[in-house]
Each structure stands twice: as C-alpha cells, then as structure tokens.
Amino acid sequence: MAAVLRRGVKLISSGSSQLLSGGCKHGRTSTLCISSSRPSSSKINVELDSSTGIAVMRFQNPLVNSLNLDFLTEICISLEKLELDKSCRGVILTSAQPKIFSAGLDILEMYGKNPEHYAAFWKSVQEIWLKLYGYSKITIAAINGSSPAGGCLIALTADYRIMADNPRYTIGLNETQLGIVAPFWFKDTMLNTVGHRTAELSLQFGLMYTPSDALKINLVDLVVPEEQVLSTATETMTKFLAIPGHAREISKSMMRKPVVDRLLSCRDADIKNFVSFISKDSIQKSLGQYLSMLKQKKS
C-alpha cells in the first residue's frame, strides 16, 4: 500500500504481507508476494522520495529489531518491491528503534524449537542475505545504534556504512560469544570488507567494535555525529547516484557474485548443516545460558 506523505514522498508499508511460496525472488527461485492492508502491524517503514529516487527503510520491530521470521520476510518483500520500482534508485537502511540498529537474529527462533522451524528460519536468513548482498540498487546502512551478529551482517551487505559516533554503540560478528558459529557466507561477507587477518581475529574472538574502532578496520566507512547519520547517508547516496548506473551495478556484481553463487550452490546443505548444529544439546545449552545472561543484565 502507498500513501502520499508530502510532495514526492510515498510511504510504503508492506503491512502483514504474506509469502505464497519459498522466499523472495533471486537467482533461480521466484516467489509471488502479496500484501494485505494492515499497516499497523508493519515492522518496517519505507519512505520513497520520488524526486531523488532515494528510499529510506526504517526497521521498527520492538524492542531491539531482532530478526525473526516475520520481520525478515517483511524486509525481504519490501526490498523486492523497491528493486522492481523504477522510481527507486537506492535504499538507505536504518532503525526507528532508539540505540539499536538490529540485535541480530532473534535467538528465540533458534532456541527450543523443532527442526522444521529451524529450517524455515534459516531459509529466511539466507533469503535476506541473498537479496541484500546481490541487490542491484545502491544500499547504504545508516547505523544509528548497536549492531551485533546478524545486525552487523545486514550492515555489511550495504554498499556503504555510516555509523553514529556514540561509543555506547558497538558492531561486529559476536557469534562465538554465544557459543555459535558464523556460517561461511557471514564470514565471506566480513572478509570481503575487512580483509583476512582482521576477519580471522574478529570471528574467533567474536569482537564487537566501537564506531571509531570499526572505522579503523574498515568495518564502517564513515563515523558522524548521531544527528547527521541520515543526512550524510542521503548525501553519500547522491554521490553514488552520479555514477552511470549500469557500470556501477556490473562492478558491484563482479565483486560479490562469487560469494553469492557459493551459497546458491549449496543452500539445502547449508540449511541441513544449520539445523543439525543448532539442534545439538550443547548448542541449545549455550543459547539458553546466553538468554539468561541477557535477562539477568537487567536485574
């Protein structure tokens, strides 16, 4: 559904969208997406400025934008709509939640559930990564809060990352701290951004970086005062838009296609691997302890 907000700006909400089959269209699979008209349940908000072609997608899944199945599906559908929309030229990904860009994958989707659920969840994680890492249009992550693990992965898929200069916010692939392992395509995305040695240390220790440290290792491209994150993202997008589109798009694809193809060639095996790993008693125990730690932190 779309409603005109101010001149040239469309508010697009996927509402309680449903996937009729599989996931979003990419590579060899395709999906028919439909939307119902219940924007109040929407976990994202998209504003497309038709005069510039820049869309701002805000994550708004309380409390911490954790990436559960519904949320991932909704993001994927909206990205697909924007990719098909000729008036959209680039997408800025940001958060409407205070202090958090995204808390990463929803741990409750990986804890105490059955193998079928784990498989469906992991498929949706693959879908969002394939959609974003292979996205034809320009994406910029305006990281206005903490961004662990899957949240960092979302940011890493963007063409450019701008982070708010607040030392309380951290970003990184912290999976090992939870007793779990970032799969090869998380690793490849990190490696393609920060290089081999930094990725190796970062993944083994499950390091989380402050904005200034993230800038030092090129995990983010720019650190700016919090109130300037979105305006800087828009300015940066304008610079990207000045480059001939087809040349930029081919260059992006050339850099990323081998990594995308690697997952496409073994999606089912990757799902099986995840289900078997996450179902182990020892892994469930680690996740249970981590969840308790998160709860205790409050009290």
Ligand X SMILES: CCCCC/C=C\CCCC/C=C/C(=O)SCCNC(=O)CCNC(=O)[C@H](O)C(C)(C)COP(=O)(O)OP(=O)(O)OC[C@H]1O[C@@H](n2cnc3c(N)ncnc32)[C@H](O)[C@@H]1OP(=O)(O)O
CA distances (Å), 94 to each of 72, 177, 262, in order? 15, 25, 28
Exactly one of 127, 175, 191, 206 is catalytic; name it.
175
CA distance 286 to 208: 19
Among 104, 134, 172, 211, binds ligand X (CB under 6 A): 104
Rule CB under 6 A: say whether 66 interacts with ligand X: yes
Contact 165, 223 (CB under 8 A): yes
Exactly one of 15, 134, 150, 172 is catalytic; name it.
150
The nearer residue to ligand X, 107 or 164, going by C-beta atoms, is 107
Question: How many DSSP H helices and E strands does the chain contain?
Answer: 10, 12
Rule CB under 6 A: say whether 72 interacts with ligand X: no
**Pattern 161-190, ligand X, x by CB under 6 A:** -------------xx--x-xxxx-------
CA distance 3 to 10: 6
Rule CB under 6 A: say whether 277 interacts with ligand X: yes
Among 46, 92, 107, 263, binds ligand X (CB under 6 A): 107
Q: How far is the CB of 252 from ligand X (least distance, A)?
A: 24
Q: How far is the CB of 291 from ligand X (least distance, A)?
A: 6
DSSP 7-22: TTEEEE---S-EESSS
DSSP 31-62: --EE--S-GGG-SEEEEEETTTTEEEEEE--T
Kindly list the strands in the beta sheet with 9-12, ordered across the sheet, starting from the edge strand earlier in the chain.
2-6, 9-12, 44-49, 54-59, 90-95, 138-143, 160-164, 222-224
Among 20, 63, 247, 254, binds ligand X (CB under 6 A): 63
The nearer residue to ligand X, 13 or 73, going by C-beta atoms, is 73
β-sheet bridge partners, residue 67 = 105
Among 33, 55, 93, 105, binds ligand X (CB under 6 A): 105
Among 12, 75, 79, 103, binds ligand X (CB under 6 A): 103
**Pattern 142-161, ligand X, x by CB under 6 A:** ----x-xxx-----------
Nearest 5°: CA angle at 11, between 10 and 14? 125
Chain residues in the site for ligand X (CB under 6 A): 63-64, 66, 99-100, 103-108, 146, 148-150, 174-175, 178, 180-183, 273-274, 277-278, 294-295, 297-298
User: Which residues form the catalytic set?
Assistant: 105, 150, 174-175
